[in-house]
Amino acid sequence: MLASRNLTSKPAAVQRPCVSAIRPARIAPVVARRPLMCQAAAEVVDADIAAPKGGVAHLRFKRGSVFKVRRVLDVMRGRSFEDAIIMMEYMPYRACEEILRALKSAAANAKNNNGAQKSQLVVAECFADQGPILKRFRCRAQGRGFKIAKPTFH
């Protein structure tokens, strides 16, 4: 006699170990919190810790592409004043001349207004935004005119 196989039955499931037995329990993240104190005391503590103010300089309505200027600014962000000066003098980009002028102006402002030493200064923040675009037309053949865009940055 032939034994019939039951095609509808499934094989017994393999017992797997409990997942929580393998992985450690999740640990809550540690959050650094300030000690409880009144608002006035917190302001005094923050004033004691705050670094001396630096100098600020602005470039406005300078001719050039904002994308090319940002490429240079990204390199000098976070560096010391002396390192940034050296980098701007030796980088081969035209935007470096304008940025170098603004950097020296910011250092002079920090020295005159806040009494900061140039050796202690750091480029904390530098950015470039797009200024207005000067639109011109170039005469072309057969009475046509091509639009020329002359970008500026701030």
In a domain, 132, yes or no: yes
Query: Domains in the chain: how many in total?
Result: 1
**pLDDT for res 109:** 93
pLDDT in tens, the chain (154 residues): 334 445 555 555 555 555 445 444 455 444 444 444 444 444 444 444 455 578 899 999 999 999 999 999 999 999 999 999 999 999 999 999 999 999 999 999 999 988 888 888 999 999 999 999 999 999 999 999 999 999 999 9
Range of the domain at 115: 56-154
135 in Cβ contact with 149 (< 8 Å): yes
| Domain contains 36 | no
In a domain, 17, yes or no: no
CATH code of residue 134: 3.90.470.10
Give 52-91 as a DSSP string.
Answer: PP-------SEES-HHHHHHHHHHHTTSBHHHHHHHHHH-
In whole angstroms, give the CA distance from residue 61 to residue 28.
51
Is the pTM here over 0.75, yes or no? no
Residue 3 placed within a domain: no
Residue type, 141: A
**Is 73 inside any structural domain?**
yes
